[in-house]
Amino acid sequence: MSLVISAGPVDAETGDSGPDPVAAAEAVLSKRFGAPVRLADPEELSDGDKAAVLRVRVAATPFSLPKTLVIKRYPPHRTDRGPDPFAHEAVSYQLFTALAPEERLAPELVAQASEERVVVIEDLGRSPTLADKLLGADARSAERALLSWARTLGRLHAITAGREADFDALMRRLGVRRWQDPLAEQARTALAELPVLLRDTLGVDTAPAVQQRALRTARLLGATRYRAFSPANACPDNTMVTSRGVRFLDFAAGCVRDVALDAAFLRVPFPSCWCAYALPVGMSEAMIAAWRAEVGSVWADLEDDAVLLPRLLDAQLLWVWLSTWQSLPWPAQATVQVPGPRRATALTARWERLRSDAAALGVPELAEHADAVAHALQAQPGQDAVELPLYPAFR
């Protein structure tokens, strides 16, 4: 039975939802292949405010196309809202599709069109996501999936190192003359404003040395020698564990940036996700080793702890400050239980991990500050010193 699908996400300013995603995809595919293509049986995979995502069956085509495809259609975009997620998504898939088949760590791009704001990609089927593994009951399977994810992230960085010029050219072809990491503007604001928020909300002062170190992490948002493609939001539900290995999805913020910002996902973990739980002791270190084994083929100096660990701590610091800035002051609904750990509990765990990693690296002023923030968060109403629970697979 076919599902009834709405036109898709609506532009909040104009009320324009654009064309029906299936009709738009049919038009794009027909233009791409030079003959009519008909799609049927749309299945809604996601329908958020950023994009409509559907799986469709290829009902009629004179060409050899897969039986099913995935459509992603974005609503209209205003330039004053920052980077265009459609442009980042389309260019990211173009970059991967231009690689050799064995190097494509994402679904293959079948067609895309700027006017319709549609991308049509390979359907990876109903393989489990990394989230499925972590929320399941098989600890060994979850551990293998995490290590495979970390290795594949490292391989992604190694394969796409030195391809920033290609990314630039593809963006210009879509009409984007200048682009930046979609994270950059918000992160720089967070680095500058968080000390005031910590003082006013939690009563924690930030020593000048700590604030200066945090501000210096902004260099990771600019040009460095350790740049490669980043999925930007490599959360567990954006990663599929297929028979061909791990594959990344959702490149609405995909860009080229310093690899340490992604590597910090192995340590925090998953700092852009509020549904994250804790990992078993030693798991983060094993994941970092797996990632490091891949990127060492490109950046041999990252095998040196004196080079990697300070950069990793800086990336971790940037993510913790950004996620804290995004959370404070607590909204009234922050005390409501949501799927996954409560935000305050997850945030406390991030500061505690920052404290231990800073102390291990010999940065006492940062460790002391992280300890003060963690204790202030634990003292918030309703916290009761609750620890962040492990992912269900490891309980």
Q: What are phi and psi of 241, to 5 degrees?
A: -105, 95
Task: Go through the chain and tell me how many residues it has.
Answer: 395
Tell which wins on pLDDT, 382 or 213. 213
Amino acid 48: pLDDT: 57
The structural domains of the chain, ordered by start, are 21-122 (3.30.200.20), 130-394 (3.90.1200.10)
Q: Is the pLDDT of residue 5 over 70?
A: no
CA angle 29–182–208, rounded 5-degree value: 170
In this prediction, residue 49 has a pLDDT band, given cuts at 50, 70 and 90, of low
In this prediction, residue 64 has a pLDDT band, given cuts at 50, 70 and 90, of confident
Q: For 87-105, what is each residue's pLDDT tens digit? A: 999 999 999 999 999 999 9
Amino acid 377: pLDDT: 92
CA dihedral over 186, 188, 189, 193, signed as positive or negative: positive
Q: How far is residue 76 from each of residues 94, 262, 370, measured CA to CA in Å?
A: 21, 29, 41
Nearest to 184 by CA among 114, 109, 101, 257: 257
Amino acid 305: pLDDT: 97
Q: For 72-91, what is each residue's pLDDT tens digit? A: 999 887 766 678 999 999 99
Q: Which of 50-54, 111-115, 156-160, 338-342 has the highest mean pLDDT?
A: 156-160
Specify whether the CB–CB gap between 275 and 339 falls below 8 A: yes
pTM of this structure: 0.90
Tokens describing residue 27: 């038009």
Averaged pLDDT of the chain: 89
Q: What are phi and psi of 31, to 5 degrees?
A: -70, -40
Q: Is the pLDDT of residue 11 over 70?
A: no
Q: Is the pLDDT of residue 192 over 80?
A: yes
Q: For 267-290, what is each residue's pLDDT tens digit? A: 988 988 877 899 999 999 999 999
On the question of a cis peptide bond just before residue 329, with omega within 30 degrees of 0, the verdict is: yes
Amino acid 213: pLDDT: 97
Query: No. of H helices and E strands in the chain?
Result: 12, 9
Q: What is the 3-state secondary structure (H, E, C) of 69-132?
A: EEEEECCCCCHHHCCCHHHHHHHHHHHHHCCCHHHCCCCCEEEEECCCCEEEEECCCCCCEHHH
In this prediction, residue 6 has a pLDDT band, given cuts at 50, 70 and 90, of very low
Q: For 224-276, what is each residue's pLDDT tens digit? A: 999 999 999 888 999 999 999 999 999 999 999 999 999 999 998 898 887 78
Q: Distance between CA 57 and CA 70 in Å, rounded?
A: 9
Strand partners, 245: 242
Amino acid 383: pLDDT: 65
Q: For 130-176, what is each residue's pLDDT tens digit? A: 999 999 999 999 999 999 999 999 999 999 999 999 999 999 999 89
**Percent of the chain topping pLDDT 70:** 90
Where residue 186 falls (left for φ over 0; alpha for ψ -120 to 50; beta otherwise) is alpha
